[in-house]
Amino acid sequence: MQIEELQQPKQSTDRIFDKAIFALLMMFLFCSAFSIALSEIGYFSALAFWAGKMMYTRRLSIPRTPFDLFFLGYIGSEILATIFAHDKAYSLLYLQRRLLLLPIVYIIFGNIRSRRDLELLFGALILSAVAVALWSMKDILVHFSEYLHFNRRLSEFQHYMTAGGITMIGLLLLLPFVVHKRTPHKYRLLALLFTLPLAVNLFFTFTRSSWLGFLAGTVYIGAVRTRRLFLPVFIVSLMVLFLATPEIRERIYSVIDPNHPANVARVHMWMTGVKIFIDHPIVGIGDVGTETVWNQYAQPGWEPEGHLHNNIIMWLVTLGLVGLVVLVALFVRIWLVMSQIEKKLRDHWFHGSLALGGLAVLVGFHVNGLFEWNFGDAEIISLVWAILGLILAAEKISPRANDQ
């Protein structure tokens, strides 16, 4: 009797911790598209409660994942680069920022215990992006002429590149629900309606790398789920090109124009990065901004750049070959595991669509990352880690999800 009386308060305290962690995760995901401050408060508070619960229960409740050794390898590469960095304090700052985001995978995975939990967190992420998209429509309508002539770029709550990345992620997560044959009609219609403001927002950010990432992710969804998706995407693309103003059409064509000033600047950044890498091939210069060494390697007359608009080159420059190999191995492992989960859950309209959307996001993220340093964008990589946690949780609870 005494043992039961002692256990009851402890179980009650556990539930308080669990509810607090889940509520804070909801806050983190719901604020992710419009408030960096509130999103970080939600995440880091959830992280603190999670650590507090482990100290209170004296139990290390960190779930095992297929990526643990790869994450440890990445942590090791960051530490190694910092030890040999020319500016150790600067590198240490970014090291702790990057590593503090990794627990997102574990805290979301470990704190989802039912399909309802999964739906609530996924819904919070989607509603955040959609709410911002709907709010931003006001700015588009008020300044429509400026947008039509590429005199304004959509950036209501975020920098336009971050806004482009977030809307790209929202769209790629929703599309599999639209095309899954078992999605209930009301949810299919809701997903379709949500894609409309997101697509308008993505377009008017004029972020070319996010456009390409979205198209690549959409092609992947069509290849895996249904090739019928290709026709409407092709028709809409032709209509946009046909109806676009000359300024917008020039922006679209600039994607493939090697002489466009933005493309020339990127090539110069990449060539500068290659020069830096050649001098620091093993562990890089440390996780620091490239402005610290810019003047030693760039051609005269180019303003210093803090990053090089390409994930792979930035990994080579900041973490060297060691970091590049570890991160490529990590993302290959993520792809293989997520692909297995998607195949396993494919027939389930919710879990399967979430898994396929996550794979499409990964495609979009890496295509986007060929032209942007989106791995270094905390708002974007936080969502990538969150989606990974959601998909791992979907597999974990799938045996209990009997409704197909």
Per-residue pLDDT tens digits for 185-196: 999 999 999 999
CA dist 105 and 270 (Å) reads: 31
Q: Which residue has the tokens 């080579």?
A: 316
pLDDT at 252: 95
In this structure, what token pair is assigned to residue 390?
A: 């959601």
Q: What is the pLDDT of residue 402?
A: 43
8 pLDDT band, cuts 50/70/90, is low
Average pLDDT over residues 220-227: 95
Identify which of 101, 75, 80, 86 has the alpha carbon closest to the alpha carbon of residue 288: 86
Residue-wise pLDDT for 242-266, tens only, equals 999 999 999 999 999 999 999 999 9
Question: Is there a contact between 223 and 356 (Cβ–Cβ < 8 Å)?
Answer: no
**pLDDT of res. 60:** 87
CA atoms within 13 A on the CB side of 301: 2
Give dist(CA 43, CA 55) in Å, integer: 18
Higher pLDDT, 105 or 300: 105
The phi, psi pair for 222, rounded to 5°, reads: -65, -40
* 158-188: pLDDT as tens digits: 899 999 999 999 999 999 999 999 999 999 9
Residue 5 or residue 397, greater confidence: 397
Residue with tokens 């899954």: 180
- Using CA atoms, how far apart are residues 380 and 35, in angstroms rounded to an integer? 13
Q: Please count the other Cβ atoms lying within 10 Å of the Cβ belonging to residue 402.
A: 8
- Cα angle 318, 324, 328 (rounded to 5 degrees) comes to 140
Q: What is the reported pLDDT for 1?
A: 46
Checking if the pLDDT of 227 tops 70, the result is yes
Question: What pLDDT, on the 0 to 100 scale, is given for residue 10?
Answer: 61
**Helix/strand/coil (H/E/C) assignment for every residue in the chain:** CHHHHHHHHHHHHHHHHHHHHHHHHHHHHHCCCCCHHHHHHHHHHHHHHHHHHHHHHCCCCCCCCCCHHHHHHHHHHHHHHHHCCCCHHHHHHHHHHHHCCCHHHHHHHHCCCCHHHHHHHHHHHHHHHHHHHHHHHHHHHHCHHHHHCCCCCCCCCCCHHHHHHHHHHHHHHHHHHHHCCCCCHHHHHHHHHHHHHHHHHHHHHCCHHHHHHHHHHHHHHHHHCCHHHHHHHHHHHHHHHHHCCHHHHHHHHHHHCCCCHHHHHHHHHHHHHHHHHHHCCCCCCCCCCHHHCHHHHCCCCCCCCCCCCCHHHHHHHHHHHHHHHHHHHHHHHHHHHHHHHHHHHCCCHHHHHHHHHHHHHHHHHHHHCCCCCHHHCHHHHHHHHHHHHHHHHHHHHHHHCCCC
Q: What is the pLDDT of residues 303-339, one digit of tens each?
A: 999 999 999 999 999 999 999 999 999 999 999 999 9
